[in-house]
Chain A
Amino acid sequence: QKEVEQNSGPLSVPEGAIASLNCTYSDRGSQSFFWYRQYSGKSPELIMSIYSNGDKEDGRFTAQLNKASQYVSLLIRDSQPSDSATYLCAVNGGGGADGLTFGKGTHLIIQP
């Protein structure tokens, strides 16, 4: 059974600070890793993808992957109140599976 684990939070961060979100996964064969943002009552929105070890930066977002530790993280710099949402970590791959295995998400609150 593939599992993706996230701290459900809520994680409260002051506006302008760095928010750090973490995720671990159980299937060592996983190959692709995604971060989705989900506002309450809305569908998940893809914000970052990462496929190889190291860091990947896109604007205020940085995804970090460490396959040896089976660990993925998302950093949000200069956090804004509009970043307040649930962030879902999703993992794909391993055994040829096509669907995503999601974590339950971390609820992030940016305090003005």
Chain B
Amino acid sequence: DAMVIQNPRYQVTQFGKPVTLSCSQTLNHNVMYWYQQKSSQAPKLLFHYYDKDFNNEADTPDNFQSRRPNTSFCFLDIRSPGLGDAAMYLCATSREQGTGQPQHFGDGTRLSIL
């Protein structure tokens, strides 16, 4: 089945130690998104790629970076994780850019910071 796959499902890292989360998709969608969801809060958009074009949200901390080496893969890099970065990180895709496009989510990566 075509899907959005996130690895790992659970990630534990140490305070300040860089960590990378990965997302892959078999839907051949042009747009890939990264959201952060903290406990009992709404998912919050960090950034998205339309093809190779990177779009950062204005309030996304500089600590968060992303890479999309090809259509299928997208990575979230957290350069120096702080305790406040513990959250569920959700990857989503949509076929095209623009309104009206439903987004399809992966199962998420739950990040814990020691």
Contacts and interface: CB of A to CB of B under 8 A. Distances in A.
Chain A partners chain B: yes
Contacts of B97: 98
A22 interface: no
A88 B43 CA distance: 9
Contact of A31 (B90, B99, B105): B99
Nearest to A34: B102
Interface residues of A, number: 27
A31 B108 CA distance: 27
Q: Most chain-A CB neighbours within 10 Å: which of B48, B90, B105?
A: B105
Nearest to A36: B105
A46 B102 contact: yes
A43 interface: yes
Given A31-B100, A92-B99, A43 B57 contact: no
B42 A88 contact: yes
B107 interface: yes
Nearest to B103: A100
B33 A99 contact: yes
Interface residues of B, number: 29
B108 A42 contact: yes
Overall SS of chain A's interface: loop
A102 B43 CA distance: 6
Nearest to B44: A102
Contacts of B55: 98
21 contacts: A8-B40, A31-B100, A32-B99, A32-B101, A42-B108, A43-B106, A43-B108, A44-B43, A44-B105, A88-B42, A92-B100, A94-B99, A98-B33, A98-B48, A98-B50, A98-B99, A99-B33, A99-B57, A100-B103, A103-B42, A104-B41
Given A43-B105, A88-B43, 4 more contacts: A32-B100, A34-B103, A49-B102, A98-B50
Interface of A: 4, 8, 31-32, 34, 36, 41-46, 49, 51, 88, 92-94, 96, 98-105
Which 7 A-B residue pairings sit nearest by Cβ, starting from the closest?
A93-B99, A99-B45, A102-B42, A43-B105, A31-B99, A43-B108, A32-B100
